[in-house]
Chain A
Amino acid sequence: MVELERSAKAATLAPETLPKPERIVQQFRDKRILERLTEGYKGWRPIAGGLATGSGFAFGTEYAHHNLAGGYMEFRAAAQLSTRLWQKYGATLSFPHTFGRRLISGINLTHRNYNSLDYYGPGMFSTRGGRTNYRLEDTTLQGIAVARPEKRLRAGAMLGYVWTNVGPGKRGGISSTEQVYTESQAPGLHRQADFFRYGMLAQYDRRDNPLGPKTGGNYVIQWVRYQDQTRSLYSFNRYDIDFQEYIGFFNNLRRLAFRARGTFTDPAGNAVIPFYMRPTVGGSDDLRGYRQYRFNDSNALVLNAEYRWEIFSGMDGALFYDAGKVMRRGGHLALSQMKGAAGFGLRANTRNQTFLRFDVGFSREGFMIWFKFNDAFSSQRFGTGAFQPLY
């Protein structure tokens, strides 16, 4: 029987080939097309995203050299443009391997030109109909050094200079900010300022996986001093806290995620804080039923709670409730005046890292749909400068 089968097979022997779709997938892998796109060619690679929310789809190119000074120094330079013509240019020289990776330091130079950032006026009583937009153009030069004395703990300091310029917004159908708001309602609208900036930060990160946390916590505090170098009208201290806690159960296939984020400012003497440097609430990472930057004032507090569950290995579901407020004075922490938003979401992930997030948030102002390429609460907010949506 075996020999009969072999004889039959011998008569039909043919070269082993892959089905066409598999061949295409295999060639894609063999030619390392994905790697070439992500890792780049001779240091050059395309990049996407990375501008503030509201920019539209952003794309650009980056040049990176990882092996300067025997591998101890890295250089990156990037230029990006979004579909709304927002622009961002930057260059970073970093030293990631100092003292066995226990000290990360670098110098960064960034220029941003965001032509239509939203502003609704100050305070919690601003209205949705008060939406305006303005141009924010700034250049930042800063140095930062972050030490990691042990695996979970980071402490760092930064020092830099910021040149800012605010102008009329370009988005059609929405008034430009200066047409609606006065200097008292939008400090810094008509008087440009430059800042000497320095500060310190500390982070204790005990999350199991920062790119898709299931258990643990992340606790960050930061202080930054903005010293107005032009008229001393706008000098202030800014204090940020961001506490996150993740509680997994059923082998972390179900999770509760909590976050408390606060930004508090302390103007020096009679100084005021430029409206574009004030903390905001609303958007894809905090109050998801409201538009991005919906509420703006000198201080902000956001509380988030999420229940997450695994639908299948590549996708999680989420139910969330967000609450947030902005305050003229930092002591007005009463929870009663908070705006609330509830919603649901889906998170696509691979290797336990969220690469696409879809959230729908509902509030008294309607609903908002968000597509983001990061995990909720994970956007980089610490270490001042170019990484933040604003400041």
Chain B
Amino acid sequence: MRVRIGILIAALAAIPVAGQKFYPDDPLLKEPAPRRIGEMPVRELSDVYDLFVHSLATPGELQPRTGPKIRARGTNTLGDPMEGAWWERRHYWNPLTHEQLQRGPGGTRPPSMDGKWTITGPKSSGVTPGFRIKDSTGTTYYLKFDPVDYPELSSASDQISGKIFHALGYHVPDNYVIEFPASILELSPDARIREANGQRRRMTHDDVNDALRRAARNQAGLYRGTASRNLPGALIGEYRYHGTRSDDVNDTVPHEHRRDLRGMRLAAAWIDHDDSRAINTVDVVIEENGLRYVRHYQMDFGSTLGSASYKPNSPRSGGEYLFDWRNAFLQFITLGALVPEWARASYPDIPSIGRFESERFRPEKWVPEYPNPAFMNALPDDDFWIAKQIMALSDDDLKAIVDSARFSDPGASVYMTECLIRRRDKIGRYAFSRVLPLDRFEVSGGRLIWQDLSAQYGFGGAGPVKVEWFDFNNLTGAATPLQANEGAWLPQPGGPYLLAQFTQRNTPSRTISVYLRRTASKVEVVGVEHQW
């Protein structure tokens, strides 16, 4: 025991100290107010270039093959991202009601059915047909329709995945499942359309009919799709999953090192968001309370779950990159005799579900369509951070979210919910097995209390844990053992900062350092750090 404590002291003392570790305002739950930005031009990325560059030589600062790993940045001292332009604390911290989960970021402003929807142009991007409209209140929406052969496929996926990402804290657009008659549409005389060769011309009723011909209708003859409410600011293009935007003063952490983006890998795996790439993000210039800053959105979830927007997703989705040197070589030389695990998946014959399943899903192996530097950099603590939020969505929460998709086939609703539950549990089991899965540290009644998330969700628990206490010098970083103390009770002697070192007895490399600050009125947790 003495030897172990000695090693620990030596290890802690070896940590280079650049200055004081905690400041009086730590932990910062919100980002400091953003600095006002100037004019920012629209900068659209090339999806083709993105595909090739990421497939052939993934950009950004990737984890070194050997040596210490690069830990996530953009977090507070508790290890959570700060609320702000990228992410907000939601369901895990402040549980949302079922109604709030279903509403997502808005949920109260679908296109008004009282009056005509004026088509002001075609939907400018994506593979599904659609329009840009203004409803009778003058609000702009983007409509996109489900494919004829797969009604509800794309709109249901968009609805479910958007609401899940919202619950996980990401900024997403305010989208609605809509069903409407063709008679509600009217064409603005000013609507213009750009032909394939780039020439602009007036949009005609033939253009409208052509789009509607490719749209699914329900049994009542109503067209079904998604209405996406215009985002609350000027769109200036996508963000990348690496580097920063050079003209945004508030964008300081390389995106490949942001915890919210690294952690997103498992969220994307959950909903099979293999299309999680730059083209499905957007930066929006927000002006509020005299501030002008960029907010970063995830968008276009129509190609998630079992959907590829206009058809069911590829069975390859999530299983393998579109192109991978090693796998392609293996397939080539084995003449296909080597059948990947993902290729053996079986899918339900439900058109509105597409290809989505949980049996062959392996969260540790899941990949998007092509390498994503932020996902590649994800470490066990990044996975733990998102997994605890994913697990916080209960079976009933997920049922409520799936209900918001308004499947006409009850069987589809049941299948989707069960699939999400099983995939969620696989993620939780995986992520909680790679770190010491303790969280929600707080002081109560003179004791440090916490939750064992692995035990809470029935994954077997963290097992025996040892807690050792240290007096922590906030200026030097030195930790002095308080040898008389071991266990959850806070030691009485010591300075203003304490360090509780949690060690998993079965796997001693898995530790959590919990820092506490003692003031005259209270003792509070100010820092949490995982090692594994």
Q: B-contacting residues of A (Cβ < 8 Å)?
A: 2-3, 5-6, 8-10, 12-18, 21-22, 25-26, 29, 31-32, 35-36, 38-41, 71, 250-254, 307, 309-315, 317, 319
What are the residues of chain B within 8 A of A5 when measuring CB–CB? 252-253
For the complex, what is the distance from the CA of A71 to the CA of B249, rounded to whole Å? 52
A238 → chain B, closest Cβ, in Å? 37
| Shortest CB distance A19–B (Å) | 8
Whether B198 pairs with A10 at a CB distance below 8 angstroms is no
A32 touches B197 (CB 8 A): yes
Q: Which residue of B lies closest to A27 (CB)?
A: B46
Is A317 a contact partner of B249 (Cβ separation < 8 A)? no
Contact indicator A32/B332 (Cβ below 8 Å): no
Ordered by A's residue number, 21 sampled pairs between the chains whose C-beta atoms are within 8 Å are A6-B249, A6-B250, A9-B252, A15-B247, A16-B245, A21-B49, A22-B49, A25-B46, A26-B45, A31-B198, A39-B196, A41-B197, A250-B344, A252-B315, A253-B343, A311-B336, A312-B328, A312-B331, A314-B322, A314-B323, A319-B335
The interface residues of chain B lying within 8 Å CB-to-CB of A18 are 43, 45-46
**CA of A251 to CA of B339, assembled, Å:** 11
- B346 nearest CB neighbor, chain A only: A251
In whole angstroms, how far apart are the Cα atoms of A349 and B51 in the complex?
16
State the CA gap A45–B45 with chains docked (Å). Answer: 28
B246 at the interface (CB under 8 A from A): yes
Within B242-276, the residues touching A (CB, 8 Å) are: 244-253
Chain B residues with CB below 8 A from A9, complex form: 244, 249-252
Find residues 89-133 in chain B having any chain A CB closer than 8 Å to their own CB.
none
Q: How large is the interface on B (under 10, 10 to 19, 20 to 34, 35 or more residues)?
A: 35 or more
Known A310-B331, A313-B323, A317-B335; contact A25-B31, beta-carbon cutoff 8 A? no
- In the complex, what distance in Å separates the CA atom of A307 from the CA atom of B336? 10
Residues of B within 8 A of A314 (CB): 322-323
Would B249 and A10 count as touching, CB distance under 8 A? yes
Q: In this complex, which of B43, B53, B328, B336 has the most chain A Cβ atoms within 10 angstroms of its Cβ?
A: B336
In the assembly, what is the distance between CA of A39 and CA of B49, in Å? 23
Of residues 24 through 56 on chain B, the ones whose CB sits less than 8 Å from some CB of chain A are 28, 31-32, 35, 40-41, 43-46, 48-49, 53
Distance between B47 CB and nearest chain A CB, rounded to angstroms: 9
Q: Does chain A have a CB within 8 A of B349?
A: no
**Could you list which residues of chain B lie within 8 angstroms of chain A, going by C-beta atoms?**
28, 31-32, 35, 40-41, 43-46, 48-49, 53, 82, 195-198, 206, 244-253, 314-316, 320, 322-324, 327-328, 331-332, 335-336, 339, 343-345, 347, 355
Q: Is the CB of B250 within 8 A of A22?
A: no
A317:B336 contact, CB within 8 angstroms: yes
B46 contacts A32, C-beta separation under 8 Å: no
Closest to A34 in B: B196
Task: Give Cα A40 to B197, complex, Å.
Answer: 7
How distant is the Cα of A32 from the Cα of B195 in the complex, in angstroms? Answer: 10
Inter-chain contacts of A71 with B (CB < 8 A): 206
6 smallest beta-carbon distances between A and B, as pairs: A309-B336, A251-B315, A32-B198, A5-B252, A312-B328, A22-B49
Q: Which residue of A lies closest to B245 (CB)?
A: A16
**Cα(A309)–Cα(B338), bound, Å:** 10
A residues in contact with B332, CB < 8 Å: 311, 317
User: Is B249's CB under 8 angstroms from A13's CB?
Assistant: yes
- Residues A3 and B46 in contact, CB atoms below 8 Å apart: no
A315 to B322, CA, bound (A): 10
**Are A26 and B198 within 8 A (Cβ)?**
no
Given A18-B43, A22-B45, A309-B336, output 16 extra A-B contacts at Cβ < 8 Å.
A3-B32, A6-B35, A10-B35, A16-B40, A31-B198, A32-B197, A41-B197, A250-B343, A253-B315, A253-B343, A254-B336, A310-B331, A310-B336, A311-B328, A313-B322, A317-B331
Question: Is B327 a contact partner of A16 (Cβ separation < 8 A)?
Answer: no
- Selected from B44, B82, B250, B339, the residue in CB contact (under 8 A) with A250 is B339
For B43, B248, B252, B343, the residue with the greatest tally of chain A CB atoms inside 10 Å of its CB is B252
**Across the interface, which residues of A come within 8 angstroms of B44, CB to CB?**
26
CB distance from A61 to the nearest CB of B (A): 15
Q: How far is the CB of B102 from chain A (nearest CB, A)?
A: 33
Contact call A311/B331, Cβ cutoff below 8 A: yes
Q: Which residue of B lies closest to A100 (CB)?
A: B213
B residues in contact with A2, CB < 8 Å: 28, 31-32, 82, 252
Q: Shortest beta-carbon distance, B302 to chain A, in Å?
A: 17
Q: A299 CA to B252 CA in the complex, in Å?
A: 74
